[in-house]
Amino acid sequence: MNTSPAPQDPEAAGLARLLTPEGLRLLDELGPYDPAASLTVSESLRARGHSPELVSAALTQSRLRAKAQAKFGAYARHMVFTRDGVEQATRWSVAALHAQRFAQAGIEHVVDLGCGVGADSLALAALDRTVTAVERDPLTAAVATVNLTGWDRVRVLCTDAESLDLSSLEAGPADGVWLDPARRVTGSGSTRRIFDPEAFSPPLSFVTGLAADGLAVGAKIGPGIPHEHVPADAEAQWISDRGDVVEAVLWFNAVRRPTVARAALVLGRGGGATASSAPGSTALESTAHETGDTEPAETAENAPAAAELTSASWQSPAPEGKLLGPVGRYLYEPDGAVIRAGLVTDLAQHLGAHLVHPAIAYLSSDTLVETPLARAYEVREVLPHTVKVLKRWVREHDVGTLEIKKRGTDVKPEQLRRQLAPRGCGRATLVMTRLHDAGTERRVVLAVHPVN
């Protein structure tokens, strides 16, 4: 396929020069990007006879590759990116899990609608799936073509996802579909996020239409999707990677787990507790999700350890009775994926902990249970919520590095830090929140120390 982009803007013009035999050879010759050496490198390459435009494009791409290493590891050195592509591409560890779903369900031919720079298609191909990668934007399709070159069972199409006939593709009818709908619009020199699922491109109704046709469907959506917008026949899985909630995914039909309505998958925080559960209740698992040979040889780091909290329904225990109580010896800050999935009280139940306020996602107990699903702190003191007291406490404890966390309060951490003026040598963490004691509410500050 010919996907060479027309040079309509500086980025397109630069990639048009770069996506040539000369441009790609030059790019591969460059070492790791070093901002301090970029001017010297530029002058050296121009002295060798390369045009200023090509040199600029190569150095820009080298910088994008360096930025992409956070998502793709060392394999980023073998890929090509657009500026938006680096920001929006699925992290390799997460893309491998997407591909694993289709492989475990026995789905052979997957159509990647809105493939971007090709991250998910690459993960699917690495698990020996036949992949039809579809991208509407010619520039991005050209980049995906380069990134997927060498995979015999992958074809890139530059066309509109919604007009594609999935039953008459060159590789045969699709068995499954992966979608990453566009959730941003650009205009007047700025980009803004879209929160209405029907304003996505393609919209959520298009996704559910594919599922209604019986296809195995996975759709990446924003983690902020309201629960009421999740289709009744979908499994909703929120995923965090090394503390960042990166996405929510809707799974349908063959790639949906029949006993799971919603789940919080936490990657990159090590091992944790394992608890069994009765049918219909929440299951807590800790495991290393195997990615098999999905990762290219150049990025053979082990898949990050993962823990998952699942629920068979959308009903969680109410924050009352034993699940609501005072601050104990330990405070737990649930991972963002757990909070987004609405599984805070489920987690409290499994940890033998309770909420300190019915509307705030902090848990507490007198017994420590190590879990990657929450960050644990030891509570050292419970302080009044006043600047005067806190300022004295910071001074008396010789605090110089102060972390301020908050939930359920309108405190601005940076403003409070300036007021407290820490100038000592020690470190401290203060948690600003509200407690629910005996039917009354009060604002407090917890002086805590991270357990790990």
**Partners of 437 in the beta sheet?**
440
pLDDT at 8: 59
Please tell me the predicted confidence (pLDDT) of residue 188: 57
Q: How far apart are CA 319 and CA 353, in angstroms?
A: 11
Residues of the chain with pLDDT under 70: 1-8, 185-190, 269-304
- Predicted confidence at residue 198, as pLDDT, reads 87
How far apart (Å, rounded) are the C-alpha atoms in residues 436 and 434? Answer: 7
Q: What is the 3-state secondary structure (H, E, C) of 114-165?
A: CCCCCHHHHHHHHCCCEEEEECCCHHHHHHHHHHCCCCCCEEEECCCHHHCC
**235-241 and 262-267 strand pairing:** parallel
Q: CB burial class (10 A; 0-12, 13-18, 19+) of residue 409?
A: middle
Alpha carbon distance 327, 89 (integer Å): 41
Question: The tokens of 44 are what?
Answer: 């050296």
Q: How far apart are CA 34 and CA 29, in angstroms?
A: 14
Cα 184 to Cα 87, 88, 93, 107, 173: the distances in Å are 12, 10, 23, 30, 30
In 159-180, which positions are buried (b, 16+ CB within 10 angstroms) versus exposed (e)? eebeebebeebeeeebbbbbbb
Token readout for 142 is 């050209």
DSSP letter string over 213-275? TT-EEEEEE-TT--GGGS-TT-EEEEEEETTEEEEEEEEEGGGS-TT-SEEEEEESS-----B
Is the Cβ–Cβ distance between 168 and 175 less than 8 Å? no
Cα dihedral 214, 217, 222, 224 sign = positive
Q: Which two tokens stand for residue 14?
A: 């630069």
pLDDT at residue 190, rounded to an integer: 62
Type of residue found at 247: E
Predicted confidence at residue 200, as pLDDT, reads 87
Contact predicate 85/140, CB 8 Å:
yes
**Residue written as tokens 């007021």?**
419
Q: What is the rounded CA–CA span in Å between residue 389 and residue 134?
A: 60
Count of CB atoms situated within 10 Å of the CB of 348: 27
With residues binned 3-state (H G I as helix, E B as strand, rest as coil), the percentages for the chain, rounded to 5, are 35, 25, 40
Q: What is the pTM of this model?
A: 0.88
Residue 298 is predicted with a pLDDT of 34
What the block records as the tokens of 13 is: 């013009």
Which amino acid type is present at position 159? T
pLDDT at position 10, please? 83
